[in-house]
Chain A
Amino acid sequence: MTERYVVAIDQGTTSTRCIVFDRRGRLVSLAQQEHKQYYPRPGWVEHDAAEIWRNVERLAPEALRNAGITEEQVAAVGIANQRETTLLWDRDTGAPIGHAIVWQDTRTDDLVELLKEADGAPEVEHDSALPMATYFSGPRMKWLLDNHPELRQRAERGEILFGTMETWLIWKLTGGLHVTDVTNASRTMLLDVHSLDWSPSALAFFGIPRAMLPEVRPSIGVFGTAVAAFPGVRIGAALGDQQAALFGQTCFFPGEAKCTYGTGSFLLLNTGDELVRSTHGLLSTVAYQIAGGPVAYALEGSIAITGSLVQWFRDQLELIATAPEIETLARTVADNGGCYIVPAFSGLYAPYWRSEARGVIVGLTSYITKGHLARAVLEATAWQTREVVDAMNADSGLDLTTLRVDGGMTADNLLMQFIADVLDVPVVRPLAAETVSLGAAYAAGLAVGYWPDLEGLRQNWHRAAQWLPTMDPEIRTAEYHNWRRAVERTFDWTRPS
């Protein structure tokens, strides 16, 4: 019998990757292509969706060729994608209308301030379980329709379609199927997170015609069969990238959490079939839904600046030549010397959500060396994780017992040890580094019976490294107290003009 495989398409913010996995969840081959970032105005970030699709068409055969396999050997393809990026396209021609507006884009800042005060805003926030913010797709769709009045009528007639990136890719892969999955839909502010369908009141609030929206489907279940890129292969799953990482880390049970450490960091906690509404500044989101099954929810804590603080240390302060050298420099000293860096470069995200805050370095004395600053940089990522975990424990009533980690910063042993120390729980890195793609592959393979059940997937998960807490509890308490005092000093820095 010929061996069969599962392919993941990881459509990320900077690049698109096609990765082939085998039955044991091992990476067999990878093909990757970056796409152009457009910054037409300050705060605006755009992608060319046509370019991204061309990349997928080129990467698909390349990944199969690298693995030495054919389409017939692919059991299913799964999609993980950058979330909240908003695209419109023409139903007849299939051509994108303008560029996609990327999740980092802040053009809706002023609009969102108005929407916050508008009638019906609390209901929309309640139904979607999200706070009114520029981060989500709904306000972007309203901005597009408000700024291009000629589009609105066509949208009402269903001639113009909306999609996030998975919707666009499925449309292109299947030759015209207009669908989304619940995890991506849950990031629009348009989804009623209980009925799992578009909320009529939210559509009315934002002025979005129902006809332009895709059908909402479970994340895991056959969406259709590809006619392009992977002709003849079934599309088994689609999930937002952070949800895919949660699935790839096999966090299937309530209380299980993962944190992906990249430029920013995203901590997601599975809360099971219960939607937990945060009172501590976290987002409630859909974790995944297997077709015919209940939906699993998650709490999400987003930290804006983690890896990017190390990049700042490297590129702006020029105290290190490469990012990994931060650990070498930090190890030249035994502790932070009383110095703390709070990287509120563009305000603070979870759990504070203070947009007027700005970064501080506090505790400077003539004793402080660049080694202490390097420590403070790494410690900032750990303390920000601690704050999100505290908020999650308070919201969910579940006490985190282990943190599963992935992402580039997990190569930093000093940081991983410090996270275990300040959280007082073991920090575990799995053998599979590519958790986003693996999650999409797992989900797709599960949908077509390539893997029998969730338990089968858990057997593929192996511990590659573990860091156990060793910090004296008194020091932990004192240091956390200092960190929080440092955070308070960032508040109210910028003043409304």
Chain B
Amino acid sequence: MPGTVQSIERAAAILRLLAGGSGHLALGDIARSLDLAKGTTHGILRTLQHVGFVEQDRVSGHYQLGPALPHLGSGYLDVNELRSRSINWADPLAARSGEAVRIGALRDGQALIVHHVFRPDDTFQTLDVGTMLPLHATAIGKVLLAYRAAGPEPAEELDRFTRRTIRTRRALAAELQHVRDNGWSLEAEEMTPGNASVAAPIRGYGGLVVGAIGINGLVERICDSHYRPHQHLVAYVRDAARAISRELGAARR
């Protein structure tokens, strides 16, 4: 059996302590109760605060359970917060790639579009924010699916949009493994004939995937004649995804 991680045990003890009793405790009380050094206790509290499990009262400085704890099941990052934190990186991605940019988050088994930057050619385009996209037939969806820990399995027969849409669970599983191996996803004429998209994961603390950012456009601009995406476009997408992840507090990787 692998050894246990002491700091996680201590963190769990702190959470139990805060969940019981008066509901809010001073740093000294917590350290005393667990017989830990104040510095150690403070470090753990700061980390728990960073992930939203603990909050500190602004006036008294006391600690209490954070607002994120009762909602552990429902994605930790508000989608409007995700847009707000991504906007300064999505714009340059559109400028560099010359393509439309979209950011999606997992919602009810589909990809909810939470941000959309127009393709910078000043043609008439309409905002896709609020649209739901199928997971297996879009680059953003594939990323969300690939890094999803659990959830209902996709249906045996997947909805077919074009003759290139992935149709079986088996083929999808292979594709998702490919996405995890590469760290990015491609969709070429699998949703709409003539269109393609590339996406990469946006990660929060601890590497948690909270969304995906991608570009989409005409297949001949995104891919070569063998449906392989242009590598500079893949690099732009991954750069933007990494920049947003850093903004959200993910460790550099």
Q: Which residues of A contact B (CB under 8 A)?
A: 24, 26-27, 321-328, 408, 410-413, 431-433, 462-467
Question: Which B positions have Cβ atoms within 8 angstroms of A?
Answer: 67, 78-81, 83-85, 87-88, 91-92, 94-96, 116-118, 120-122, 125-127, 129
- CB pair A411 B92 closer than 8 Å: no
B120 & A465 in contact (Cβ 8 Å cutoff):
no
State whether A412 touches B88 (Cβ < 8 A).
no
Do A466 and B127 contact each other (CB < 8 Å), given the known contacts A27-B92, A324-B84, A411-B87? yes
Residues of A with C-beta under 8 A to B117: 431, 464-465
Q: A26, B81: Cβ atoms under 8 Å?
A: no
CB-CB under 8 A from B84, the residues of chain A are 322-324, 408, 411-412
- In the complex, besides A433-B88, A463-B122, A463-B125, 5 extra interface pairs with C-beta distance below 8 angstroms are A322-B84, A413-B127, A431-B95, A432-B91, A464-B91
Q: How far is the CB of B82 from chain A (nearest CB, A)?
A: 8
CB closest residue in chain A, given B121: A462
Residues of B within 8 A of A324 (CB): 78, 80-81, 83-85
* Max chain A Cβ within 10 angstroms of own Cβ: one of B87, B96, B121: B87
With a cutoff of 8 Å between Cβ atoms, the chain A residues found around residue B116 in the complex are: 465
Q: How far is the CA of A27 from the CA of B92 in the complex (A)?
A: 8
Query: Quick one: closest A residue to B79, CB to CB?
Result: A328
Q: In the assembly, what is the distance between CA of A466 and CA of B127, in Å?
A: 7
Looking at the assembled complex, report how far the CB atom of A333 sits from the nearest CB atom of chain B, in whole angstroms: 15
Q: Nearest A residue to B120 by beta-carbon distance?
A: A462
CB of B83 within 8 A of CB of A411, answer yes
- CB-based contact B83/A465 at 8 Å: no
B146 to chain A, nearest CB (A): 26
Contact A467 B127 (CB under 8 A): yes
Given known A323-B84, A324-B83, contact A464–B92 (CB-CB < 8 A): no
Residue numbers in A under 8 Å from B67 (CB-CB): 321
A-B contact count (CB 8 A): 68
Of the A-B pairs whose beta carbons lie under 8 Å apart in the complex, a sample of 13, sorted by A's number, is A24-B95, A26-B95, A27-B92, A325-B78, A410-B87, A411-B80, A411-B83, A411-B84, A412-B80, A431-B117, A463-B118, A464-B118, A465-B117
Residues in B whose Cβ lies below 8 Å from that of A464: 91, 94, 117-118, 120
With a CB–CB cut-off of 8 A, which chain A residues contact B81? 322, 324-325
What's the minimum C-beta distance from A193 to chain B, rounded to whole angstroms? 35
> Looking across the interface, which residue of chain A has its beta carbon closest to that of B127?
A465
Q: Is the CB of B92 within 8 A of A466?
A: no
In the bound complex, how far is the Cα of B125 from the Cα of A462, in angstroms? 12
Contact A325 B127 (CB under 8 A): no
- In the bound complex, do residue B80 and residue A433 qualify as a contact, i.e. CB atoms below 8 Å apart? no
Q: What is the CB-to-nearest-CB distance from A412 to chain B, in angstroms, rounded to a whole number?
A: 7
Q: Which residues of A contact B127 (CB under 8 A)?
A: 413, 465-467
In whole angstroms, how far apart are the Cα atoms of A466 and B119 in the complex?
A: 12
- A426–B81 CA distance with the chains assembled, in angstroms: 25
Given contacts A321-B67, A466-B127, contact A431 B78 (CB under 8 A): no
A330–chain B nearest beta-carbon distance, Å:
9
Q: Output the least CB separation between A365 and chain B (Å).
A: 27
Chain A positions within 8 Å of B95 at CB level: 24, 26, 431, 462
In-complex Cβ contact of A322 among B78, B87, B126 (8 A): B78
From B78, B80, B81, B83, name the one whose CB has the most chain A CB atoms within 10 angstroms.
B80
Which residue in chain B gives the minimum CB-CB distance to A462? B120
Residues on the B chain within 8 Å of A463, using CB? 118, 120, 122, 125
Identity of the chain B residue whose Cβ is nearest the Cβ of A326 in the assembled complex: B80
Q: Please give me the 3 A-B residue pairs with the lowest Cβ-Cβ distance, nearest first.
A: A462-B120, A324-B84, A324-B80
CB distance from B39 to the nearest CB of A (A): 28
- Listed residue (B91, B122, B126) with the most chain A CB atoms within 10 angstroms of its CB: B91
- Complex Cα gap A294–B125 (Å): 37
What chain B residues lie within 8 Å of A408 (beta carbons)?
A: 84
C-alpha spacing A152/B117, complex, angstroms:
55
Residues of B within 8 A of A411 (CB): 80, 83-84, 87
Residues of chain A contacted by B80 (CB below 8 angstroms)? 324-328, 411-412
Docked CA distance A422–B149 (Å) = 44
Q: In the complex, which residue of chain A has the Cβ closest to the Cβ of B66?
A: A321
CA of A322 to CA of B80 in the docked complex: distance in angstroms? Answer: 10
A486 to B95, CA, bound (A): 43
Closest B residue to A411 by CB, please name it.
B84
Residues of B within 8 A of A326 (CB): 80
Taken together as a complex, chains A and B put the C-alpha atoms of A323 and B129 apart, in Å, by: 19
Most A CB contacts (10 A, CB to CB) among B67, B85, B88 go to B88
Do B94 and A431 touch (CB < 8 A)?
yes
Q: Determine the chain B residues whose CB is within 8 A of the CB of A321 once the complex forms.
A: 67
Nearest CB on B from A30, distance (A): 10
Return the contact of B129 from the options A413, A432, A433, A462 (Cβ within 8 A): A413
State whether A433 touches B87 (Cβ < 8 A): yes
Hey, which chain B residues are within 8 Å of A467, CB to CB?
127
Q: How far is the CB of A452 from chain B (nearest CB, A)?
A: 20
Contact A466 B83 (CB under 8 A): no
The winner among A27, A328, A462, A466 for most chain B CB atoms within 10 A is A462
Expressed in whole angstroms, the minimum distance between the Cβ of A310 and any Cβ of chain B is: 11
Cα separation A328 to B91 with both chains bound (whole Å): 22
Please give me the residue from chain A that is nearest to B123 by CB atom: A463
For the complex, give the distance between the alpha carbons of A432 and B80 in Å: 20
How far, in Å, is B25 (CB) from chain A's closest CB?
A: 20
B249 nearest CB across to chain A (Å) = 13
Cα of A408 to Cα of B83 in the assembled complex, Å? 11
Closest to A430 in B: B91
Assess the B120–A431 pair: CB atoms within 8 A. Answer: yes
Tell me how far the C-beta of A420 lies from the nearest C-beta in chain B, rounded to whole angstroms.
11
Chain B residues contacting A431 (CB-CB under 8 Å) are 91, 94-95, 117-118, 120
* Beta-carbon contact of A466 and B78 below 8 Å: no
Residues of B contacting A413 with CB < 8 Å? 83, 127, 129
